[in-house]
Amino acid sequence: MNIVLSLLAVIILLLLAFIGVDVAGWRYFFGVIMPMATIIVFILGMVYRVIKWARSPVPFRITTTCGQQKSLPWFKASNLENPYNIWGVLGRMFLEIFFFRSLFRNTKVGLKDGPRLVYGSTKWLWLGGLVFHWSFLIVFIRHFKFFAEPVPAWVLALQNLDGFFQIGLPIIYATDIALLAALTFLFLRRVADPKLRYISLAADYFPLFLLMGIAVTGVLMRYFTKVDIIGIKEMAMGWLSLSPTVPEGISSLFFMHLFLVCCLFIYFPFSKLLHMAGIFVSPTRNLANTNRIKRHVNPWDYPVKLHTYEEYEDEFREVMKAAEMPLEKE
Amino acid sequence: MYDAGKIIIGLIIFLIIITFPVWYNIAMGKATYIPQLEYPVDAEQCVADSAYIRASHMDLLNTWRDKVVREGERVYHTPDGRRFEMSLSNTCMKCHNKKEEFCDRCHNYLAVDPYCWDCHIEPKELVP
């Protein structure tokens, strides 16, 4: 049901763009208003969500650790697994963000030969996720050629590296294949395992289908049909220089691609995709474990009103004396 | 203790990166540039109509390359019965003889880096 709903949502979005451009002729809406609104919603949405996180207090260090804490000098401390200074944290965050280190430790539980419960390492999610994220990043950066004039040399270099094997014409980008393969794997992974399917929500399938739709329309435009990319770049540059135009002759396939991208970026700050920002502010990852080395004072501590035993005795001395209770001071 | 200060710095870095195309184009000052091509002045008809050439010239050249290099076939028959030598340097570049004002304008605009010139000599080098 979740799968059908998500798929239906993406198909409706595609049809909306197709009908909107080809039948209703709302080229200005799909080519200018929608993308420019997307840029604003995406940036403001990201800022809003991150500032909301930034307002939370960080009273203590809640690092997850799996290595020797910094202790007496003759204990070998593990700065990556149990960071005790900024370098440990930076190293840990770098490996986490670029190589998904904690996902590399992913394990699987299963029953073997009847009642035997076994835990095994499983790297498939790590590999699929890594391939997806890296190819998507490269595809994203490659698109910078539509937003910059002159195109910087490093974009050209990246794109030449991506098409290193010079297969086909236009040259097939390795990341296009890797992206589609990884998305297919990540989808099948959710469907193939009944346990995983049970916990998968529409919010898990929808971004997958959305990304698949974007990748497929993009691949169609590059390898199978031709679109007027001069006009497309002219339009994209128009958004940035705030002098938007919609050149004639851009096919509806491009508008379908663009509309899905807009939906992705509008959806981004308000969904699980926000883990892009979240990974930087995960307190279990980005804090050094200095709970023992430094004193951490609770920020909302206020001076507590004390009533010491001495004062108590002064207050009730006569009564206590009468009841023959022992007193500190006579 | 709050970490808002550090998070705001991170957020500002994110904003600078995500708005980079805007700053880049302001700095370069070519945001409204649209490539204009210099068409040959004294040429007859091209080997195909301009809509096809505009969209699919690379497919045509690729087919020509395969035909000439792999099959040894050198003559191209257009659907309307004209004949051309299948050659980038001798047929295409005979009329479109200014690479920089014709080929490169669009290719540079869209970061297309065709490997034609890995083998072919750029026409300007032929001019003494």
Please report whether residue A146 resides in a domain: yes
Contact by Cβ (8 Å): A6, A205: yes
Closest Cβ–Cβ partner in B15, B34, B111 for A145: B111
Which of B22, B109, B117 should one mutate to test binding to chain A, selecting the residue with the greatest count of A CBs within 10 A? B109
Residue A196 CA to residue A134 CA, distance in Å, equals 24
Which of B15, B19, B24, B28 should one mutate to test binding to chain A, selecting the residue with the greatest count of A CBs within 10 A? B24
Residue with the two structure tokens 């169609």: A220
Mean pLDDT of A271-278: 95
Rg over CA atoms, chain B: 23
CB-CB under 8 Å, B24 with A152: yes
**List of chain B residues whose C-beta atoms are within 8 Å of the C-beta of residue A297:** 1
Closest Cβ–Cβ partner in A144, A149, A281 for B30: A149
pLDDT at A278: 94
Q: State yes or no: pLDDT of B125 exceeds 80.
A: no
pLDDT at B1: 65
Is some CB atom of chain B closer than 8 A to the CB atom of A73? no
Q: What is the pTM of this model?
A: 0.89
pLDDT at A297: 78
Range of the domain at A78: 2-301
Closest Cβ–Cβ partner in A58, A229, A234 for B34: A234
Distance from CA of A163 to the nearest CA of B (A): 11
CB-CB under 8 Å, A297 with B21: no
Is some CB atom of chain B closer than 8 A to the CB atom of A313? no
Higher pLDDT, A290 or B121: A290
Distance from CA of B52 to the nearest CA of A (A): 10
- The sign of the dihedral angle between the CA atoms of A134, A136, A139, A143 is negative
| Residues sharing a CB contact under 8 Å with residue A265, sequence separation 6 or more, in sequence order | A38, A39, A41, A42
CB-CB under 8 Å, A169 with B62: yes
Mean pLDDT of A136-146: 95
Contact by Cβ (8 Å): A209, A119: no
CB-CB under 8 Å, B113 with A160: yes
Classify residue A25 as exposed, middle or buried by CB count within 10 Å of its CB (0-12, 13-18, 19+).
Answer: exposed
Please report whether residue A311 resides in a domain: no
Q: State yes or no: pLDDT of B126 exceeds 70.
A: no
Total Cβ atoms within 10 A of residue B103: 22
Is some CB atom of chain B closer than 8 A to the CB atom of A141? no
Sheet strands (E) in chain A = 107-112, 116-121
Q: What percent of chain A has a predicted confidence (pLDDT) above 70?
A: 100
pLDDT at B124: 64
Structural domains counted in chain A: 1
Mean pLDDT of A112-132: 91
A128 to each of A25, A122, A124, A187, A250, how far by Cα in Å? 40, 11, 6, 10, 34
Closest Cβ–Cβ partner in A144, A159, A299 for B21: A144
pLDDT tens-digit map of A49-93:
999 999 988 888 899 998 999 989 999 999 999 999 999 999 999
Residue A35 CA to residue A261 CA, distance in Å, equals 9
pLDDT interval class at B123 (50, 70, 90): low
- The sign of the dihedral angle between the CA atoms of A201, A207, A209, A210 is positive
Distance from CA of A242 to the nearest CA of B (A): 10
**List of chain A residues whose C-beta atoms are within 8 Å of the C-beta of residue B59:** 169
Buried b (16+ CB within 10 A) or exposed e, A193-217: eeeeeeebeeebbbbbbbbbbbbbb
Q: Which two tokens stand for residue A136?
A: 């998507």
CB-CB under 8 Å, B4 with A54: yes
Total Cβ atoms within 10 A of residue A293: 14
Residue B123 CA to residue B128 CA, distance in Å, equals 10
Least confident range from A106-115, B24-33, B66-75, B119-128: namely: B119-128
Please report whether residue A49 resides in a domain: yes
pLDDT at B41: 81
Please report whether residue A330 resides in a domain: no
Mean pLDDT of B52-74: 91
Closest CA to B114 of B64, B74, B59: B59
Closest CA to A174 of A147, A148, A145, A142: A142
Closest Cβ–Cβ partner in B8, B21, B108 for A150: B108
Give the per-residue SS3 of A297-330: CCCCCCCCCCCCHHHHHHHHHHHHHHCCCCCCCC
| Residues sharing a CB contact under 8 Å with residue B39, sequence separation 6 or more, in sequence order | B96, B102
CB-CB under 8 Å, A296 with B1: yes
pLDDT tens-digit map of B88-105:
888 888 888 888 888 889
CB-CB under 8 Å, A230 with B35: yes
Is some CB atom of chain B closer than 8 A to the CB atom of A169? yes
Contact by Cβ (8 Å): A149, B32: no
pLDDT tens-digit map of A142-192:
999 999 988 999 999 999 999 999 888 889 999 999 999 999 999 999 999
What residues of B are in the A interface, CB distance below 8 Å? 1-4, 7-8, 10-11, 14-15, 18-19, 21-22, 24-25, 28, 30-35, 55-56, 58-59, 62, 106, 108-111, 113, 115
- Alpha helices by DSSP H, listed for chain B, are 4-18, 20-28, 50-71, 93-95, 103-109, 116-119
Closest Cβ–Cβ partner in A170, A228, A240 for B25: A240
Q: Which two tokens stand for residue A143?
A: 């698109």
